[in-house]
A and B are shown apart, each in its own frame.
Chain A
Amino acid sequence: MNIIEIKNLKKDYPLGKTIVPALRGVDLEVAEGEFMSIIGPSGSGKTTLLNVIGCIDQATAGSVKIAGSEITALDDRAVTDIRLHKIGFIFQTFNLIPVLDVLENIEFPLLLMKRPAAEARKRAEKLAAEVGLSEYVRHRPAELSGGQRQRVAIARALVTGPDIVLADEPTANLDSVTGASILELMREMNEVEKTTFVFSTHDAAVLKYARRIVRIKDGLIEKEPVAA
């Protein structure tokens, strides 16, 4: 079953009086449990595509189905709900809540879902252990390294048991060794939790971790398949 189905997706950005077409008719299907990479040069539309899939940005035209339901015509509340329940995000900038410690950051989405505090805490502890941060659970983000913060982000993205985890260039701000370990971890989590992962990169060295690679250029997906 396809967890993501995209048909003829278009996204234009207004720029002054002109229009910048960031996506120009993307068709893409992602099967459940995939570990997929979107690669393309800077400005090719990777971020835009992930944003639309992640319900962070709205499509100009076309259809996007997440787990079978169309998301392009939903209001803010519904779309936020989908983000909370179905999608996990890992940001390039390790975006965490500075005033919360590691455990609190990981359990944050669960508390938004109004899960009981004890249950949320237990699940957060489990994920903290899985991403190798058991010793740091009481640290605040400012006290962690970039790699450690990205591990927190991975744990947070997975804590709700989402359908898809989206990661926009998750290793771009990390050195290559740390970046590699993060990708290893993501692949491990993909195997353990059976969660679909879609991550973008402009770095060909990262591609060896992907099980499926989609190339994007000038807002269009290039012909598949390019086996890894």
Chain B
Amino acid sequence: MKLLLTIAWRNILRHKGKSLVIGAILFTGAFLMTLGNGVVSGMARGIEKNVINGFMGDIVVISAKQKSDNVLLNMMGTSIEPVTDYKLIKPALAASPLVERWLPAGKNMAMLLDENSDAPGFAYLLGVDFAEYRKMFPGNFEVIEGSYPAPGERALLIPSFARDEFYNYYNIWYLPEGGRLVKANLKKEALERLDTLVLSSSVVMMGMSGGMNTTSDIRFPVRGIVRYGALNQIFGHFCLVDIESYRECLGYFTAADMSAQVTKEEKALLSLEGGGLDSLFGGDELEAAAPAAPRRLTERSRAADPADGVYNAVFIKLKPGVPYKKAVKELNAALKAAGADARAVTWNKAAGPMGSMTLIIRSALFIFVLLLFSVAVIIIVNTLTMAAMERASEIGMMRAVGAQKPFIGGMFLGETAILSAVFGGAGILAGVLAVELIPLLKISTTNDMLQLLYGGDIFRPMLDLYGVALAVFQLGVVTVLAALYPMKVAAGITPLEAIARD
């Protein structure tokens, strides 16, 4: 063993040029690989943190009737089953020692109805109690225009991202009621056509809920424009509305319905009172889709307890350090015991593509690393194989004087392993160093695409022991793969190569 490594080491020194080429490749490969691992881990951690703390908590309780767990970000907008027995769920959550806090919410799509456009657009609605929402997700967004709704107020908050989208679609620029145009927040295209810009402070939406419910179109007053601190591109799809308006929009039983026992039919009649908007829809096809006229939201349901009505999901924040598996298991047991027709799922399942995005980016990185490795392995294999053939006479002599094949193979593996340990090791160290240093640079971005890569507003790659171990393992695989073929070639050199033929 010592002999083998001595020869390997001295051959490295003897063929400095080749060793440096292989070393440089190993260094670069190991460095990029480690950094890549760090970036992806940081991204995954960032997304996780932002999603949990700013958007949906750790666990989501959904209706047991819900087929797919993916309720939050299924962009095709399949409607979500209503959760009708929050009254049973609430005490179960309150009694659970694992739960820190929770927030019941409505979530579904709504059709944006507008007189000026040919086809309706869509918006995602999140119906919440604004006061509770702020307690659940403090500081997750900033109100950049208008104000945060007062408790119980009927209002709509539009994220800047959604406002931009609405503008793209309708050419309408939404402003909070009584708000003024803030040029800094305006889209560039809108800024260029300022004189013809259509402004509006209310949105007419009609809930889209699959099947049985009759939905209504509701005119929502825009109370504020918000901007999420991180991942506005994703979270910004969701307009926040007060839960009662949400329910009316979706045709769910509102808390007011529950307390007043108003029948659905009566309610439909009521909602016709506002009247007159039918004329706005010139197209025949829309008339069928919008049978009821929108009306101003009234304050009539204020007195009722919102908890009485229908939701779509309950977002749950767990106490720190509670493992998801355990939480899901225990919460499901508690829900069952309470007789609630609901189940608990983890955020990454509920977030669907968002939850698997880290997996997708991981896979992308994996492919990148694989390509990197392939190139590295090919170059190393070439260089070493050539080295083996150049040393054929020397290797043949070793075989002639009694070295077995594994000894010759070991010599080449030894050379690669030493180069790998020295240069690859240095590459990993440099990668770790880079990962540790980058957060100190405090690179931050408001660019939405970059935020996705950063997993938040600050670029903070991160490596745990697992990440470093992974890098070492990957390096080991490269080493063995790169050495395998040259080893075979070298071991295949016969002692006859030692003999000079005339």
Contacts and interface: CB of A to CB of B under 8 A. Distances in A.
B393 A95 contact: yes
Contacts of B405: 76-77, 80
Given A84-B402, A92-B500, A111-B3, A99 B397 contact: no
A54 B400 contact: yes
Given A56-B495, A99-B11, A93 B500 contact: yes
Contacts of B502: 42-43
Contact of B401 (A99, A100, A156): A156
A97 interface: yes
A83 B400 contact: yes
Interface string B380-403: 000000000000011011111111
Given A97-B7, A112-B407, A47 B499 contact: yes
A35 interface: no
B404 interface: yes
Interface string A77-118: 100110111001101110111111000100011011100010
B10 interface: yes
Given A51-B496, A98-B14, A91 B397 contact: yes
B300 interface: no
A91 B402 contact: no
Contacts of B397: 89, 91, 95-97
Interface residues of B, number: 29
Contacts of B494: 56
A168 interface: yes
B372 interface: no
Interface in B456-502: 494-496, 498-502
A95 B394 contact: yes
A81 B405 CA distance: 11
A110 to B, nearest CB: 10
17 contacts: A42-B502, A51-B496, A54-B400, A57-B496, A83-B495, A89-B400, A91-B498, A91-B500, A95-B393, A95-B396, A97-B398, A99-B11, A100-B6, A108-B398, A112-B402, A117-B2, A156-B401
Interface of A: 42-43, 47, 51, 54, 56-57, 76-77, 80-81, 83-85, 88-89, 91-93, 95-100, 104, 108-109, 111-113, 117, 156, 160, 168
Given A95-B397, A109-B401, 14 more contacts: A51-B499, A77-B404, A80-B399, A80-B404, A84-B402, A88-B401, A89-B498, A93-B393, A97-B7, A97-B394, A98-B14, A100-B7, A112-B3, A117-B2
